[in-house]
Chains A and B, each alone.
Chain A
């Protein structure tokens, strides 16, 4: 049994897939940073940045709808910014008929900017995680000098994510199989339901605890001594770093364009 929704890496033969993981990590971060630093209303710059993302997405051969679908995850949060067009003081643009709420131009600009920023950031992140297998991501973080312990912990989490999510899914299915819905009979209340769910969580916890003991024993059996030791695969594609440099120049260009315009 396999929960495919957790498989975010999509192997393809593409230029992006083949890039050095460090370059991809840094590149995504720089794109996100640029997107966030662009001032409000810098439409041209935002447009160029947007275009860059589209370029990277198509270069990664993931298909246009793939990325669009995945970016919906940020949607609920955009509701938080929804009041902005109405509450930001500025020259009024339009008034909601019947309610009298006024949308200001500054408010709208601000809201749209946030929308585009978020969208660009999510896209960049999607391209990163879809084109880079977990092991490469971990290697990249280590190579970029992230604290080794944290990366190791995340590595273990990723490794056992599927197994534990699978166990959780099986429990949910087993519960559903024993949850009849008969006409005319009232279902048990929230408290009872939460107890059942809580018991499932509790037992999953105990199983995870026991599994971690077994994994620890297996690690000890192969020589683990508490130190995280990694084999550094010598990837050295200087062309990738040149590409990164090129992108840095492009991003700086976009940024300065936004300031001067």
Chain B
């Protein structure tokens, strides 16, 4: 019962009346790499914010077998690492080191352990040279990598990424895809980048207007043109090697 994400019948309405989630059911087993696709406004980001308790909807959410509630928030946030769309929102400290150290510090690690975790996290994203640099001097691709490192340093079981390849130039995007492919964690990724989805994620979930409309193998769903178009999506053109 470990390392799973179990969501049942999740509903959420924003303060101004917008119904963002209308009964979402989702189960992610440990080790799975899942892509969440859907048009803008379909509820992807809202769903993610429920995974670590920042938003609270009606329904059941269990992470690692435990319900996401006020008491369990601390553990949940250490187990589920969310990487948001805009890296500038997550790099809020004075230096790269400070940002990557933030999570471990709040987890109560000792200074030497913090240091080790930062080192490991930065190495796994290839940014160890940037340790003492200031975030606003980094390129967009570098910022995204540091943003991942800031979450990796907490040793989460699963990674949740919101539009990770958005805004990256082709080279940075290629490096980023390579990075994601190498990370061992369970992954849930929201993306419009259908090529990346096809390449990295064997399972695909389509969400539209707050409901899940399809959930299956990426290879199968990508072939269903009509399904994709109905929900504001497009299959990637050209050859692609679907992930297994």
A residues near B (Cβ < 8 Å) are 2, 133-135, 138, 155-156, 158-160, 162-163, 211, 214-215, 217-225, 229-232
Contact = CB atoms under 8 A, between A and B. Distances in A.
B111 to A, nearest CB: 6
Given A221-B54, A222-B102, A231-B111, A159 B77 contact: no
Nearest to B93: A159
Contact of B106 (A134, A138, A223, A232): A223
A214 B84 CA distance: 9
A215 B88 CA distance: 8
B136 interface: yes
A222 B49 contact: no
B77 A223 contact: yes
Contacts of B9: none
A169 B54 CA distance: 32
B89 A215 contact: yes
Contacts of B93: 155, 159
Interface of B: 49, 52, 54, 74, 77-78, 81-82, 84, 86, 88-95, 98, 101-103, 105-107, 111, 114, 134-137, 150-151, 154
A229 B105 contact: yes
A221 B136 CA distance: 21
Given A211-B89, A219-B102, A221-B82, 17 more contacts: A134-B94, A138-B94, A159-B94, A163-B88, A163-B136, A214-B86, A215-B92, A218-B82, A218-B89, A219-B92, A221-B77, A222-B103, A223-B102, A225-B106, A229-B105, A231-B98, A231-B105
10 contacts: A135-B98, A159-B135, A160-B92, A162-B136, A163-B136, A215-B89, A220-B54, A221-B54, A222-B150, A232-B111
Contacts of B107: 223
A138 B95 CA distance: 12
Contacts of A225: 106
Given A218-B89, A223-B78, A135 B52 contact: no
A217 B77 contact: no
Given A156-B92, A214-B84, A222 B54 contact: no
B154 A218 contact: no
Contacts of A163: 88, 136
Contacts of A138: 94
B84 A217 contact: yes
A138 B54 CA distance: 29
B101 A222 contact: no
A170 B210 CA distance: 34
A231 B88 CA distance: 22
Contacts of B154: 222-223
Contacts of A214: 84, 86, 89
A222 B151 contact: yes
- Of A211, A215, A222, the most chain B CB neighbours within 10 A belong to A222
Contact of A222 (B77, B86, B95, B111): B77
B106 A222 contact: yes
A158 B95 CA distance: 11
Contact of A231 (B52, B89, B114, B137): B114
Given A218-B84, A218-B90, A223-B78, A2 B151 contact: no
Contacts of A135: 94-95, 98, 134
Given A222-B150, A231-B111, A158 B106 contact: no
Nearest to B94: A135
A133 B134 contact: yes
A156 B92 CA distance: 7
Nearest to B118: A231
A217 B91 CA distance: 12
A217 B81 CA distance: 12
A165 to B, nearest CB: 10
Contacts of B137: 2
